[in-house]
Amino acid sequence: MCDDIRRSFGRAVFGDEVMKERLPEAVYTAIKKTMDGGRRLDPSVASEVARAMKEWALELGATHFTHWFQPLSGVTAEKHDAFLSPAPDGTPITEFSGKELFRGEPDASSFPSGGLRATFEARGYTAWDPTSYAFVKDRVLCIPTAFCSYGGEALDKKTPLLRSMEVINKQAIRVLRALGDETTAKVNVTVGAEQEFFLIRKEDFDKRRDLIYTGRTLFGAPAPKDQQLDDHYFGAFKPAVSAFMDDLNAELWALGIYAKTEHNEVAPAQHEIAPVFCRANIACDQNQLMMEIMKKVAARHGMVCLLHEKPFEGVNGSGKHNNWSLSTDTGKNLLDPGDTPQENVQFLVFLSAVVCAVDEYQDLLRASVASAGNDHRLGKSEAPPAIVSVFLGDELTGLLRAVVDGERYTPRAADVLGTGVHVLPKIPKDNTDRNRTSPFAFTGNKFEFRMVGSSDSIAGANIALNAAVADELCSIADELEGKDCSFETVSEVLRERLGKHFRIIFNGDGYGEEWIEEAGKRGLLNLPTTADAVVRMLDSKNIELFRRTGVYSEAEAESRCEIMLDNYAKKVAIEANTMVDMINHDILPSAVKYSKVLSDGAAAKKAISPRLSICMEEKLLDRLADLTDELYECSNILEESTAALRRTENAIEAAELCRDRVLSDMHRARVAADGIEKIVGREFWCYPTYGDLMHDVR
Ligand code: ADP
Ligand code: MG
């Protein structure tokens, strides 16, 4: 079994081994230099690579190729071209040239461009990203690509991610040189994204328009039992889930994705899967691929995989923990404290750079994870709050405090876990991993950014993080260059900036009410909704950051902001429309039918005992009448507010209208509908309940 897994791992990827085996040595070396050393690839190798790729893909049964890219719509895009073409004499031949590998020109005019293309060119271009591996999926050779306009403006999530990785490499190398490191040639961003999701039965899914149109339930009274007992978390998989996981792992492994950990999450029907970390752009590609495959495999098992951030109200939502670090081509993790962090100058510099960057660009990090779905999750006492802060643990906080105070830090003796059982080994306590409520936590040798939404691409979060840290490293390098790199000198360089940004460090309970108040006192930003957060991207300090790091031009930043706000307003509008649809076509008819049963019942009772005053049926009817009147009213109100939304052309105003009006109208409708659900008899109810949805997978 293990041998089978090993043999089939990466079977569908044009990875390192395949390239080594099938490419001429000089071509293989050139590609490796691009992948590992960041060199531009010489176009003259294109035809050799294309030939080898085609042969390999045909052997795997591929019939088509595609430039696989990540437009700003948030999903991946592919347009297939058959390898097969007619030769001049009409006979079929298989063709795939170097030119086709390097560049594609999809007629992609319907992808969102946030106004960018109107001013440039309608057409988009895709360019091969030789730093991410090609793969075969569903008989199609997929070539990871960047997607740009004619003028080179990024129309996708990958281009700025690659830019941000280049700039952080450049600045990290400057810092390393200033600290006396002459050997490191490249610094890579490493990312491991833990993915949460729900699995429900397809049969149940198909009966709910809200799930079909919006990916989340817009109505639903709480189930008698959900996550009160915490008995789902880390529990054994039910057979249907286990079968799904087996299949999923096999597919992911074939695609070279090291799916590593899997477990049940807190809410019933909620699960998590995490891969082993890799270079950020590959991690991003793999996460997109993983989400796609999860949906496909679920369908094969008669289930639906819900990636929405908050499919069910009242139970935990789903996120994506973006584990992030920097590592050198010599294999060193720059955020590894080692045994004596108090003497590790390099660690101190990189740790400080991240802490300062997160404080300086809290708004950008918050904006990078903003979406209509994630707004329902952040700050709901099961997910990080909408306030960005950094958890370091007592030890590292003490170390940075000592730098600010101009003192030398003496570490406490390492704690050992006291289990009270002699036969168990003594385990040193991991001092950094005690806090699960922080949005940005140091966890041993990496930072874990926990605010990313479960359905979102991880590109945005990593672009913001890379740019912010690169900028901080740049200004630290400016000061360090030419100085000696003793602990004292470096501390001196870091003292002022750490002092200024110390407020971002918070080791307490991030879910507590008190933190909101305390964060306010510290001057930290609290941006609860997408409408509040996204506009911050365009603050002059952020535009300046984009310009300095070259991650976005001003026009690109504006276009992204516009697309995010537009997407938010559109999603809210679709939800409101779906509510109206369900109220009128599902909920009210159910209530009317049940009312008829109740009134017939009341009439029958009265016929037998005419002097009966008010019976149970009448009491229920009375409550039902109030709630249905209210719901009918809500439906009309929702129609008015969505009409107002349609009249609003400006993206910011539309987002604000959603925040201030549409979402509260939706909430009011939900309260009424859920009240009705609690009364109406099971056989009269129009869609599967929360209890059905969360407990039907067995
Ligand atoms: P936990 O489950 O406690 O959050 P794990 O050790 O299981 O922590 O790691 C979770 C994720 O972090 C995995 O995807 C793992 O590959 C990733 N990870 C570990 N080390 C690094 C690193 N240096 N850089 C980026 N991601 C990392
Ligand atoms: Mg984690």
Note the pLDDT tens digit of each residue in 463-477: 999 999 999 999 999
State mean pLDDT over 634-642. Answer: 97
Q: Is the CB of 160 under 6 A from ligand 1?
A: no
pLDDT value for 117: 57
* CA 422–ligand 2 middle distance (angstroms): 30
**pLDDT 10s digits, 291-350:** 999 999 999 999 999 999 999 999 999 999 999 999 999 999 999 999 999 899 999 999
* The predicted structure's pLDDT at residue 104: 84
* CB-ligand 1 contact for 109 (6 Å cutoff): no
Neighbours of ion ligand 2 (CB under 5 A): 321
Q: What is the band of 417 on the pLDDT scale with cuts at 50, 70, 90?
A: low
Mean pLDDT, rounded, for 552-577 = 96
Residue of 187, 271, 277, 351 best suited for mutating to test ligand 1, as the one with most atoms within 8 Å of CB: 277
Check residues 126 and 628 and name the one with the higher pLDDT: 628
| Radius of gyration from C-alpha coordinates of the chain | 28
Q: What percentage of the chain exceeds 90 in pLDDT?
A: 78
Atom of ligand 1 nearest to the CA of 193: 14
Q: Please work out whether the CB of residue 446 comes within 6 Å of at least one atom of ligand 1.
A: yes
pLDDT at position 122:
62
Range from 29-43, 419-433, 642-656 carrying the lowest mean pLDDT = 419-433
Average pLDDT for residues 347-357, to the nearest whole number?
A: 98
Q: Which band of pLDDT confidence, cut at 50, 70 and 90, is reported for residue 206?
A: very high
Residues 4-21 have pLDDT tens digits of 878 889 999 999 999 999
274 lines ligand 1 (CB under 6 A): yes
**Ligand 1 pocket test, candidate residues 290, 327, 446, 469, most atoms within 8 A of CB:** 446
Contact of 491 with 616, CB cutoff 8 Å: no
d(CA 680, CA 593): 9
Rounded distance from Cα 3 to ligand 2 centre (Å)? 29
Average pLDDT rounded to a whole number, residues 483-507:
96
CA of 443 to the centre of ligand 1 (A): 8
Neighbouring residues of 201: CB distance < 8 A, sequence distance ≥ 6: 302, 303, 304, 693, 696, 697
pLDDT band at 461 (very low <50, low <70, confident <90, very high): very high
Residue 354 and residue 447 in contact, taking contact as beta carbons nearer than 8 Å: yes
- The bound ligand whose nearest atom lies closest to the alpha carbon of 189 is 1
Which atom of ligand 1 is the closest one to the Cα of 333? 23
SS3 9: coil
Confidence band of 41 (pLDDT split at 50, 70, 90): confident
Ligand nearest to the CA of 450: 2
Instruction: Indicate if ligand 1 lies below 6 Å from the C-beta of 435.
Output: no
288 pLDDT above the threshold of 80: yes
Looking at residue 15, its pLDDT comes to: 94
> Worst-scoring range by mean pLDDT, 81-90, 423-432, 572-581?
423-432
Check residue 422 and give its pLDDT: 67
Tell me the CA–centroid distance for residue 190 and ligand 1, in Å: 10
Q: What is the pLDDT of residue 434?
A: 62
Does position 561 have pLDDT exceeding 80, yes or no? yes
Quote the percentage of the chain above a pLDDT of 70. 95
In the predicted structure, residue 431 carries a pLDDT above the cut 60: no
Convert 468-480 to b/e letters by CB count within 10 Å (16 or more is b): bbbbbbbebbebb
Residues 6+ apart with CB under 8 A from 407: none
Here the tokens at position 669 are 């409708």
**Residue 118 pLDDT > 70:** no
Question: Which ligand 1 atom is at minimum distance from the Cα of 433?
Answer: 3
Average pLDDT over residues 353-359: 98
Q: Which atom of ligand 1 lies at the shortest distance from residue 335's CA? A: 23
Q: Which ligand is nearest to the CA of 190?
A: 1
pLDDT at 242 over 70: yes
Where residue 555 falls (left for φ over 0; alpha for ψ -120 to 50; beta otherwise) is: alpha
Look at 381 and 43; give whichever has higher pLDDT. Answer: 43
What confidence tier does 119 reach under pLDDT thresholds 50, 70, 90? very low
**In this predicted structure, what is the pLDDT of residue 460?**
97
Ligand 2 center to residue 77 CA distance, Å?
29
Nearest ligand to residue 334 Cα? 1
Which ligand is located closest to the Cα atom of residue 458?
A: 1
- 445 Cβ below 6 A of ligand 1: yes
In the prediction, which pLDDT does 289 show?
Answer: 96
Residue 628 Cβ inside 6 Å of ligand 1? The answer reads: no
- The pLDDT value given to residue 37: 81
Report the nearest-CA residue for atom 11 of ligand 1.
192
Which pLDDT belongs to residue 513? Answer: 87
Ligand 2 centre to CA of 523 (Å) is 28
- Among all ligands shown, which has an atom nearest to the Cα of 196? 2
**Which domains are seen in the chain, by residue range?**
2-156 (3.10.20.70), 164-219+231-552 (3.30.590.10), 568-695 (1.20.120.1560)
In terms of pLDDT, which residue wins out, 228 or 624?
Answer: 624
Task: Name the pTM for this structure.
Answer: 0.95
Nearest in space to 76 (alpha carbons), one of 122, 119, 137: 137
Instruction: Please report the atom of ligand 1 found closest to the CA of residue 192.
Output: 14
Residue 309 and residue 374 in contact, taking contact as beta carbons nearer than 8 Å:
yes
Ligand 1 pocket, residue 276 CB under 6 Å: yes
What's the mean per-residue pLDDT of the chain? 93
Give pLDDT, residue 121. Answer: 54
Residue 392, SS3 per DSSP: coil
